[in-house]
Amino acid sequence: MHTGVLRLFLIRHGEAVGNTEMRYLGCQDDPLTEHGHWQADCLAQAFRTLPIQAIYTSPLQRTVATASAIAHACERPLHVEARLREASSGIWEGLTRAEVLARSAEDAQHLHQWEQNADCAPPGGESLQAVQVRTLEFIDELVCTYTNEWLALVTHVSPIKALLCATLNMPLINARHLFLDPATISVIDWGHKPVLRLFNAHAHLGWTAARWMQTAF
């Protein structure tokens, strides 16, 4: 039986083009903005002195660009892992919530169901439940590969939220109450009884630099 603990640094990628308008990016492969590249550099500086053993990234270019900066700073190889990709938004990819609601009454109804049920997926997309299954499968493999190491996983909102819900042993639908800013860090000590150490941290960007600090609500 594996009794060790992995310290998982869960990093959301820097700001991508579609993020500036709060679009459902899913697997749409938007690049980082200029601000997103600055955020990636800030992340790299934050991780430079940490004993990171390995760095894994989703294959999408917004995560690869973010992870590459960190890997360079840590002088570690970068591993691409498809199971860290964002959930597909299906036919809604590239749209805002308002645009989905305006498409049709059927889209509006489906959107409300998706927001209330973790087993529901966007048309042609992937549910949060499915994301959790593949993400946990990957973590189980990491547990078999590493013992008492610090790992950096550069990924997206859905995989991070799926792991947070598993850590806190709470229903997946509660992920709707968690907000993750671009280029933030969450930390889980993953073992027999996982512990959440940090959530949506952005000290490396500056206290007021997080998106949620830019507007009242």
Residue 118 dihedral angles phi and psi, to the nearest 5°: -70, -15
Rounded to an integer, what distance in angstroms lies between the CA atom of residue 65 and that of residue 154?
A: 10
Contact criterion met (CB below 8 Å) for 64 and 80 = yes
119-143 b/e with 16+ CB inside 10 Å = b? ebbbeebbbbbbbbebbeebbeebe
pLDDT (tens, 9 = 90+) of the chain, 217 residues, equals 456 899 999 999 999 999 999 999 999 999 999 999 999 999 999 999 999 999 999 999 999 999 999 999 999 999 999 999 999 999 999 999 999 999 999 999 999 999 999 999 999 999 999 999 999 999 999 999 999 999 999 999 999 999 999 999 999 999 999 999 999 999 999 999 999 999 999 999 998 888 788 776 6
* pTM for this model (two decimals): 0.95
pLDDT of residue 217: 65
Structurally, at CATH architecture level, domain 6-89+127-213 sits in 3-Layer(aba) Sandwich (3.40)
pLDDT of residue 3: 66
Q: Which of 174, 151, 150, 148 is nearest to 161 (CA)?
A: 174
